[in-house]
Amino acid sequence: MKQEILTITENIPVTESVWRMQMEAPGLEEQRPGGFVNVRLDGLFLRRPISVFDSAPGRLTILYKTVGRGTEQMTGLKPGAQLDVLTGLGNGYDLTKAGDTPLLLGGGVGVPPLYMLARKLRGEGKAVKAVLGFNTAAELFAEEEFRALGCNVTVTTADGSCGVKGFVTDALPEEYSYFYTCGPEPMLRAVYRATKTAGQFSFEERMGCGFGACMGCSCKTITGYKRICREGPVLEKEEILWDD
Ligand SMILES: Cc1cc2nc3c(=O)[nH]c(=O)nc-3n(C[C@H](O)[C@H](O)[C@H](O)COP(=O)(O)OP(=O)(O)OC[C@H]3O[C@@H](n4cnc5c(N)ncnc54)[C@H](O)[C@@H]3O)c2cc1C
Ligand code: FES
């Protein structure tokens, strides 16, 4: 983990409520796919965790949805403004288990952490299938970016206004070697039941302290509780025990 001052180079809406922010700093290291950063905002005691959408040395891109004070404040930041960011957080996805035909399943703001993963897997020559789920066509984002990587993309919308009507679990392909997923918890539970292979889940649970002290982000596993902020946010399917 590193505390860095990043300069915003772009901050634009991509839907009515989702924004894309690009930041730069000369010494910034490339982040891990599935990793996250923790953003400090004026007047807010707790930093706000946001997944890495894409990253290269010196550059970081995030996609964030406006849901409250912190993310609203972020929409007001202009290019040239500086942000205090903790970088290099989270275990990230393990790419070594992907096999030749990995499946990526993202729901809403669970889609962003899958993008850099898709780019890296495509770079290794994998035939990546991505199912991206949204409530409605107006909320759709990142589809074109996944297609531009050469992924086989299926979009689902709950109201049927775009792509397959239903949830990501209504559009699972017959064949895939492994899966990676991120999204709201009801979706993750459904993915857990519907998938046939091993896979990895990224949890975007609400966090408290963000550095392992409060246990507010705990998730039950076969080896005891794991803190999403320290031992996560990615857990393997085999280790997760859902609370009923
Ligand atoms: C590891 C991790 C990665 C994340 N990655 C992303 C990302 O890439 N893009 C993105 O848009 N968001 C992401 N989130 C969620 C993001 O952190 C929250 O939406 C943000 O902290 C809300 O801050 P706020 O001040 O705007 O809202 P608050 O004022 O704190 O809350 C406003 C409302 O949003 C709800 N809310 C807050 N946090 C969450 C949450 N984590 N999940 C569901 N509802 C929440 C609250 O219950 C409340 O109703 C991630 C969270 C985690 C833990
Ligand atoms: S947020 Fe406090 S332990 Fe994870």
Mean pLDDT of 176-185: 97
Report pLDDT digits (tens) over 85-110: 999 999 999 999 999 999 999 999 99
Cβ burial, residue 192 (10 Å; 0-12/13-18/19+):
middle
Task: Report the C-alpha gap between 139 and 142 in whole angstroms.
Answer: 10
Task: Report the C-alpha gap between 45 and 37 in whole angstroms.
Answer: 16
Q: Is the Cβ atom of 217 under 6 angstroms away from ligand 2? A: yes
Task: Report the C-alpha gap between 158 and 140 in whole angstroms.
Answer: 12
Q: Is the Cβ atom of 213 under 6 angstroms away from ligand 2? A: yes
Q: Whose alpha carbon is nearest atom 35 of ligand 1?
A: 67
Which atom of ligand 2 is closest in space to residue 227's alpha carbon? 4
Separation in Å, CA 89 to CA 29, 31, 130, 231 = 12, 9, 25, 10
Q: Is the Cβ atom of 67 under 6 angstroms away from ligand 1? A: yes
Mean pLDDT of 155-164: 98
Is residue 190 within 8 Å of residue 156, measured between CB atoms?
no
The percent of residues above 70 in pLDDT, for the chain, comes to 100
Task: Report the C-alpha gap between 118 and 196 in whole angstroms.
Answer: 20
pLDDT exceeds 90 at position 144 = yes
Please report which confidence band the pLDDT of residue 205 belongs to, taking 50, 70 and 90 as the band edges: confident
The Å distance, Cα 91 to ligand 1 centre, comes to 19
Mean pLDDT of 166-185: 97
Separation in Å, CA 187 to CA 70, 96, 141, 201, 215 = 25, 24, 18, 11, 23
Mean pLDDT of 177-202: 97
pLDDT score for 28: 98
Q: Is the Cβ atom of 13 under 6 angstroms away from ligand 1? A: no
The Å distance, Cα 34 to ligand 1 centre, comes to 16
Is residue 114 within 8 Å of residue 139, measured between CB atoms?
no
pLDDT exceeds 80 at position 48 = yes
Q: Among all ligands shown, which has an atom nearest to the Cα of 47? A: 1
To test the ligand 2 pocket, which listed residue (86, 205, 215) has its Cβ within 8 A of the most ligand atoms? 215
Pure H helices in the chain: 69-75, 112-123, 143-148, 185-194
Task: Report the C-alpha gap between 30 and 152 in whole angstroms.
Answer: 26
Q: Whose alpha carbon is nearest atom 3 of ligand 2?
A: 212
Closest CA to 36 of 46, 44, 47: 47
Whether the bond between 102 and the residue before it is cis, its omega within 30 degrees of 0, is no
Order of strands, sheet of 129-134, starting from the edge strand that comes earlier in the sequence: 164-165, 152-157, 129-134, 102-107, 178-182, 199-202, 234-236
User: Mind giving me the DSSP string for 70-85?
Assistant: HHHHHHTPPTT-EEEE
pLDDT exceeds 90 at position 125 = yes
Task: Report the C-alpha gap between 181 and 200 in whole angstroms.
Answer: 6
pTM value is 0.96
Closest CA to 50 of 111, 95, 121, 141: 111
Report pLDDT digits (tens) over 1-31: 999 999 999 999 999 999 999 999 999 999 9
Q: Is the Cβ atom of 22 under 6 angstroms away from ligand 1? A: no
Q: Is the Cβ atom of 89 under 6 angstroms away from ligand 2? A: no
Please report which confidence band the pLDDT of residue 210 belongs to, taking 50, 70 and 90 as the band edges: confident
Q: Is the Cβ atom of 208 under 6 angstroms away from ligand 2? A: yes
Single-letter residue type at 180: Y
The Å distance, Cα 103 to ligand 1 centre, comes to 25
Q: Whose alpha carbon is nearest atom 43 of ligand 1?
A: 206
